């Protein structure tokens, strides 16, 4: 009998050990697990950003077809710019440009900016040239318009013009790069560049879209308007590589590929806090883009996806598509990752994963306007950690009267036309929100409601719950949402579903407030507590 008991106890112990192990694997025993998704799988800020940049580019795995990204090859030819020969404070623009041009003509190579503080005007990159900034190299860009002339072809806020272009500019080039551990410092304060910026109106009202682009010339003659130069903006280029550098004090958007194919941006640090319209990285009507291990602190949106504005954007009709953003850190900024508000050519196939937005405003942000056209579709977000000053998910499709006048008024609904934008087919999963003012905020367009949104496997800590207006086919499932308020508002929404969602709210029941002639009851399935 004694032998039998010993054997029986041993068997039971083995059975219990196996059971406990199974529960561990299923994530049942540990509170850090949210419906099978452990928070450890979502990176922390210490695991992402420029300080974590690896030497090699890992294969890209996306839910749509992407090319194989490789570091570019340049000829072995290398030349150091002899900037130390300049007189104190003298601009090195001509010297830098001459060496870039000669290097490109001889087949390419690396043009090296040495350690030290140097001053320059606009630099134009040329094919097969890698502009490399040594550690300790600092390039200060002029604040005077004369150092950015003649005017060049560019796109400003989604509209094509002839103006200052960018501090580092390229047009129609292939296999170009900016690399190194050096620093770029934008146009100085108080100069004509910042004083003569066009502020008379929004650009689509200021520029006649029927006028040929060659006649849209703004180069600041006799104190006239200019459009601010971006910091780095290759336009109509193939195979663009940017790695390691730091950018400060931009006059406008920082890194802006326009009409490019094949772009890699990695390990970049941007600081433009306090600068209006100081976006971090804006991908504009470009395709096949990889952004990884970047750290952005911005005066506007951090990572931004755009595709042209209104009538001029429709004329060009170039989408932004096949973009992957991974292992990045967004710090201060209006939005962590933003689509729009320029959407005319359509934004499609965006995959953002394993990123951290720490103390940004909105986390995942979508903007457009009735007059902007196009929109966005097939946008996927996975394994995102957010600690926010604003809302976690925000769709603002109407804008404000300051920019679009009466079109910002929700009603009356307008007739759908070529300028009516849309957002659809958007998925976010494995989301950890440590702090936010509101979990979900949707302001759609009555005649073009937001459609087909799925948020799943989410762990949310929020002040407020959910506000929905003009939205259809929205699903939240497998989530825990802890909120200081218990109210959900729904205005002209339909087919809204919550499945397997735990609401941790102060009231014993949710309060759902419905309004609008088209509103339908929200569906709750296996949720706690029940709605009222």
- Report d(CA 408, CA 397) in Å as an integer: 9
Query: What CATH code is carried by the domain that includes residue 457?
Result: 2.160.20.10
Q: What is the DSSP letter of 510?
A: B
Q: Give the model confidence (pLDDT) of 256-309 as tens digits.
A: 999 999 999 999 999 999 999 999 999 999 999 999 999 999 999 999 999 999
Residue 198 shares a structural domain with residue 107: yes
Among residues 235, 254, 279, the one where a domain terminates is 235
Token pair 């890698």 is at which residue? 130
The confidence score (pLDDT) of residue 16 equals: 46
- Report d(CA 163, CA 238) in Å as an integer: 22
How large is the C-alpha radius of gyration of the chain?
26
Residue 376 shares a structural domain with residue 414: yes
Residue 351 shares a structural domain with residue 433: yes
Structure tokens at 422: 């849309």
The confidence score (pLDDT) of residue 17 equals: 42
Q: Is residue 282 one of the residues assigned to a domain?
A: no
H helix intervals, 88-132 = 93-105
Residue 346 pLDDT > 70: yes
Residue 78 shares a structural domain with residue 189: yes
Q: Is residue 240 one of the residues assigned to a domain?
A: no
Q: What is the DSSP letter of 10?
A: H
The confidence score (pLDDT) of residue 353 equals: 98
Percent of residues, the chain, with pLDDT higher than 70 = 92
Residue range 449-468: mean pLDDT, rounded: 98
The torsion angles phi and psi of 357, rounded to 5 degrees, stand at -115, 105
- Report d(CA 395, CA 409) in Å as an integer: 16
Q: Give the model confidence (pLDDT) of 195-233 as tens digits.
A: 999 999 999 999 999 999 999 999 999 999 999 999 999
pLDDT band of 26, cuts 50, 70, 90: very low
Residue 331 shares a structural domain with residue 474: yes
Residue 205 shares a structural domain with residue 323: no
pLDDT band of 89, cuts 50, 70, 90: confident
Count the alpha carbons within 13 Å of 69 in the hemisphere toward its beta carbon. 27
Residues written for the chain: 532
The confidence score (pLDDT) of residue 531 equals: 73
Q: Is residue 442 one of the residues assigned to a domain?
A: yes
Q: Which residues contact 436 (CB under 8 A, 6 or more apart)?
A: 363, 386, 388, 390, 391, 392, 460, 461, 462, 463
Residue range 403-424: mean pLDDT, rounded: 96
Residue range 119-132: mean pLDDT, rounded: 98
Structure tokens at 51: 């300080």
Which residue segment(s) compose the domain that 137 sits in? 69-235
Among residues 235, 260, 286, the one where a domain terminates is 235
Q: Is residue 280 one of the residues assigned to a domain?
A: no
Q: Is residue 204 one of the residues assigned to a domain?
A: yes
Cα→Cα distances 512→118, 119, 171, 437, 531, Å: 61, 60, 54, 19, 7
> Across all residues in the chain, what is the average pLDDT?
93
* Out of 26-30, 84-88, 169-173, 218-222, least confident range: 26-30
Cα→Cα distances 259→155, 223, 274, 279, Å: 10, 31, 28, 18
Q: Is residue 248 one of the residues assigned to a domain?
A: no
Local structure of 415: helix, strand or coil? coil
Residue 19 shares a structural domain with residue 134: no
Q: Is residue 187 one of the residues assigned to a domain?
A: yes
Residue 145 pLDDT > 50: yes
SS3 content of the chain, % helix, strand, coil (to 5): 15, 45, 40
Q: Is residue 347 one of the residues assigned to a domain?
A: yes
Determine contact, residues 247/230, Cβ cutoff 8 Å.
Answer: no
The confidence score (pLDDT) of residue 40 equals: 53
- Report d(CA 129, CA 106) in Å as an integer: 10
Token pair 């006799």 is at which residue? 222
Residue 51 shares a structural domain with residue 100: no
Residue 375 shares a structural domain with residue 502: yes
As beta bridge partners, residue 131 has 111, 178
Residue 76 shares a structural domain with residue 14: no
Cα→Cα distances 401→128, 202, 295, 390, 494, Å: 46, 11, 33, 22, 27
pTM beyond 0.95, yes or no: no
Residue 344 shares a structural domain with residue 460: yes
Residue 10 pLDDT > 70: no
Residue 161 shares a structural domain with residue 216: yes
Residue 12 pLDDT > 90: no
Tally the domains of the chain: 3
Among residues 235, 262, 293, the one where a domain terminates is 235
pLDDT band of 25, cuts 50, 70, 90: very low
The confidence score (pLDDT) of residue 530 equals: 76
Token pair 């003009």 is at which residue? 470
Residue 22 pLDDT > 80: no
């Amino acid at each position: 009998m004694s032998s039998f008991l010993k054997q029986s106890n041993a068997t039971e112990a083995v059975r219990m050990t196996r059971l406990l192990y199974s529960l561990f694997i299923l994530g049942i025993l540990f509170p850090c697990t949210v419906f099978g998704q452990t928070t450890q799988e979502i990176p922390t800020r210490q695991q992402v950003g420029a300080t974590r940049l690896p030497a090699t580019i890992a294969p890209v795995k996306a839910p749509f077809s992407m090319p194989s990204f490789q570091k570019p090859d340049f000829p072995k030819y290398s030349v150091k710019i002899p900037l130390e020969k300049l007189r104190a404070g003298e601009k090195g623009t001509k010297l830098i440009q001459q060496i870039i041009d000669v290097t490109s003509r001889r087949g390419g190579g690396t043009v090296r900016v040495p350690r030290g503080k140097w001053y320059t005007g606009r630099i134009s990159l040329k094919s097969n040239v890698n502009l490399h900034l040594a550690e300790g190299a600092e390039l200060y860009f002029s604040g005077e318009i004369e150092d950015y002339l003649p005017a060049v072809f560019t796109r400003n806020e989604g509209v094509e013009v002839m103006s200052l272009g960018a501090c580092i500019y390229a047009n129609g080039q292939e296999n170009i790069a900016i690399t190194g551990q050096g620093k770029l410092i934008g146009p100085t304060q108080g100069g004509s560049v910042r004083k003569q910026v066009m502020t008379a109106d929004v650009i689509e009202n200021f520029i006649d879209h029927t006028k040929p682009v060659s006649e849209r010339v703004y180069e600041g003659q006799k104190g006239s308007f200019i459009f601010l130069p971006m910091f780095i903006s290759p336009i109509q280029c193939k195979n663009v590589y940017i790695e390691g550098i730091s950018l400060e004090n931009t006059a406008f958007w920082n890194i802006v590929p326009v009409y490019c194919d094949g772009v890699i941006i990695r390990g970049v640090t941007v600081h433009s806090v306090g600068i209006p319209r100081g976006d971090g990285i804006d991908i504009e009507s470009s395709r096949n883009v990889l952004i990884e291990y970047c750290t952005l602190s911005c005066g506007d949106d951090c990572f931004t996806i755009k595709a042209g504005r209104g009538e001029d954007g429709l004329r060009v009709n170039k989408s932004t598509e096949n973009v992957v953003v991974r292992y990045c850190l967004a710090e201060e900024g209006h939005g962590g990752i933003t689509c729009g508000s320029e959407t005319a050519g359509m934004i499609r196939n965006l995959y953002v994963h394993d990123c951290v937005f720490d103390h940004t405003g909105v986390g995942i942000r979508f903007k457009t306007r009735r007059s902007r056209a196009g929109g966005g579709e097939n946008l996927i977000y996975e394994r995102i950690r957010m600690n926010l000053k604003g809302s976690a998910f925000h769709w603002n499709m109407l804008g404000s009267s300051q920019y679009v006048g009466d079109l910002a008024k929700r009603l009356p609904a307008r007739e759908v036309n070529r300028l009516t934008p849309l957002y659809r087919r958007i998925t976010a999963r494995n989301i950890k929100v440590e702090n936010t003012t509101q979990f979900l905020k949707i302001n759609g367009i009555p005649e073009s409601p937001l459609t087909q949104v799925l948020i799943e496997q989410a762990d949310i800590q929020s002040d407020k719950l959910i506000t929905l207006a003009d939205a259809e086919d929205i699903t939240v499932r497998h989530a825990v949402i802890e909120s200081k308020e218990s109210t959900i508002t729904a205005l002209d929404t339909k087919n809204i579903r919550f499945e397997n969602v735990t609401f941790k709210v102060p009231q014993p029941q949710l309060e759902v407030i419905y309004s609008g002639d088209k509103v339908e009851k929200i569906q709750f399935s296996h949720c706690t507590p029940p709605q009222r």
